[in-house]
Amino acid sequence: MWSESLRRANTVESDVVREFRSLILEHRVEVVGPIRQEVLCGLREDSQFEKLEKHLAAFPDLAGADAGIIRCQR
């Protein structure tokens, strides 16, 4: 869900992505640490990582874990 909604190449949004974005706008989305880590670790550029990390910081962590646990092989 997260990966699909973050892709820039999506010119046509699926109904699922549209609903997900609607939930985000309603502040009804949280993220668990492993999902945050998976999304961030899939990025190739450090600049992309830093930008997305800042955006994801707006979402509460469901488990209450600190985002600082993210470790990626760079």
Amino acid at position 30, single letter: E
Q: Report yes or no on 48 lying in a domain.
A: yes
Q: Is the pLDDT of residue 64 over 60?
A: no
Q: Report yes or no on 60 lying in a domain.
A: yes
What number of other Cβ atoms are within 10 A of residue 5's Cβ?
16
Q: Report yes or no on 33 lying in a domain.
A: yes
Q: Is the pLDDT of residue 5 over 70?
A: yes
Greater pLDDT, 63 or 46: 46
Q: Report yes or no on 74 lying in a domain.
A: no
Question: How many domains does the chain fold into?
Answer: 1
Q: Which domain holds residue 45?
A: 2-69
> Which 3-state string (H, E, C) describes the chain?
CHHHHHCCCCCCCCHHHHHHHHHHHCCCCCECHHHHHHHHHCCCCHHHHHHHHHHHCCCCECCCCCHHHCCCCC
Q: Is the pLDDT of residue 65 over 70?
A: no
- pTM for the full model? 0.66
Q: Report yes or no on 45 lying in a domain.
A: yes
